[in-house]
Chains A and B, each alone.
Chain A
């Protein structure tokens, strides 16, 4: 089993959460922090197996919540909701088309924060929301959409650089070899 891609995806998620917590520039410039996990979920849904996708939702959500004031585990379900339907229909999606990546990334980036806030409100929490949250939501959606093709390129490049091509089965079988010539 080629573990490079799953490890890469999980490492990217870890670094993405760390970057979101450390880098203040998007918040200072745009008034909102950009979340890369939804776009990464789309990449994972289109490129890795269901175990890695589930691990990404669980670990990514837990890492995000651990650095935030969110209750632990609240981000897991929204991430899975964004990734699982895409995983089920992955054979029908043009995963190499940047436009498809952009649209899926934007949709996931819009869906995940909306669902998280909805769950927080349902759980009796009081997140800081107002009219300004609409602007933040738009920023997160657009930035997540734009980030998706970049994430696809970056992950594919890293997989190519660090991984190896899986050996495919050839049509050659020694027992079916036709011996030619006279014996």
Chain B
């Protein structure tokens, strides 16, 4: 009787696992989001805990230092305002030229700032959770970046949070263009599980003239990432497939291991 109870429990667990794994994708992702929302109350605690040292440091900062910082920020604000005026003029001119040539007008992107609240607990995925969700207009496949460069794309969206798959994960391949004379196009993919700052650039032509330090930008191909977002720099390159193609390693501009704040591009 005792043994039978044990094996009944084992059978029940196996049944639950099989049912969960054989759920349709939509139902599975909904259930997953529902389960992950159990952790929502702890999100606030975690971010509050992270903010505590910052708040403490702010409270003991001398008044003179604060005034100095405010002065610096005012100057920076003025510079950015004048830059924004120039950019607005350039945008108007760009729109007029687009209209003259009959090109389709480019839809401007908006940025939404988000805090990184959690990382993937499994070592074989490279994802993070951010504190913006469908309530904030976040949708799947929207590009995610930092001021340094591209970070990844939105993978799944909850009401209050979203999961972002980072560059280097197999679910986030990015078409990029190298800033060289031939403007070669390749695809960024994963390298290894340990170093998140290096990724593999594949599918480059054998004639690609790559040098260390060349900048890599998104190409705009594929429809997910707009063109021109900085991604990283070429570290080294080598010919592969008996000289038929070139592969390179790219050092990412954004530090994926220490992400705290990111911006989501919203159309």
Query: Interface stretch among B5-13, B56-64, B132-140, B223-231?
Result: B5-13
B255 to chain A, nearest CB (A): 11
Interface residues of A, dominant DSSP: helix
The count of residues in chain A whose C-beta lies closer than 8 Å to any C-beta of chain B is: 55
Total A-B pairs in contact (CB under 8 Å)?
A: 154
Chain B interface extent, by class? 35 or more
C-alpha spacing A130/B194, complex, angstroms: 9
Query: Interface stretch among A54-62, A146-154, A160-168, A173-181?
Result: A54-62
Query: Interface stretch among B36-44, B79-87, B88-96, B101-109?
Result: B36-44
Name the contact of A17 in the complex, choosing from B12, B121, B193, B194 (C-beta under 8 A): B121
A108 is an interface residue with CB less than 8 A from chain B:
no
Contact with A along B175-200 (1 / 0, CB 8 A): 00000000000000011111100000
A31 cross-chain contacts in B, Cβ below 8 A: 194
CB within 8 Å for A87 and B121 given contacts A69-B163, A128-B126, A132-B194: no
C-alpha spacing A51/B13, complex, angstroms: 10
B155 cross-chain contacts in A, Cβ below 8 A: 69
Contact with B along A116-141 (1 / 0, CB 8 A): 11001001001111111101100010
B121 lies within 8 A of A136 (CB):
no
B118 cross-chain contacts in A, Cβ below 8 A: 21-22, 67
The 8 closest A-B pairs by CB, nearest first: A73-B20, A132-B194, A127-B124, A20-B121, A66-B36, A66-B35, A69-B125, A21-B118
